[in-house]
Amino acid sequence: MRLLVVRHASAGERARWKGDDRLRPLDSRGRSQARGLVSLLEPFHPERLVSSPYVRCVQSLEPLAAARDIPIEPRDELAEGMGRDAFAALVAELGCPAALCVHGDLLEELLGGDRPRKKGSVWVFEADGAELRPERYLAPPA
């Protein structure tokens, strides 16, 4: 099963945000990246859109959700700090090709420290049971 793992789009600097970080929205660059994800991901025909419940993650998938007329499913398993095991458990129940919006910490766990994971970028994975194989990197939209 193909998974599109999206690192949320640009949301400014964490240190400059005053308030609950879960509520930090996309900045203007991030909103542009989110719109660009539509043309980047549409050819993969994701059947489900699953996101960390953090505002910046949900907002990253909103244009794709509107274009595909698919709801975004916020899931705590994808929240910051939840880790690979929570991600794997969620993947096991998906059952169809999906786009998942996550945070950089999870991508680092999945990919190791030497692979790109810029905000708004996408990694295409093939999921076979508990095994995840990264197949392709898609640079973030401008």
Helix segments in 18-139, DSSP class H: 28-41, 55-68, 83-94, 104-111
pLDDT in tens, 47-100: 999 999 999 999 999 999 999 999 999 999 999 999 999 999 999 999 999 999
List the domain range (segments joined by +) for residue 49. Answer: 2-138
Domain tally for the chain? 1
Q: What is the pLDDT of residue 15?
A: 64
CATH number at residue 111: 3.40.50.1240
Does pTM top 0.85 for this prediction?
yes
Q: What is the pLDDT of residue 19?
A: 77
Q: What number of other Cβ atoms are within 10 A of residue 109's Cβ?
A: 15
Q: Identify whether the C-beta of residue 120 lies closer than 8 Å to the C-beta of residue 9.
A: yes
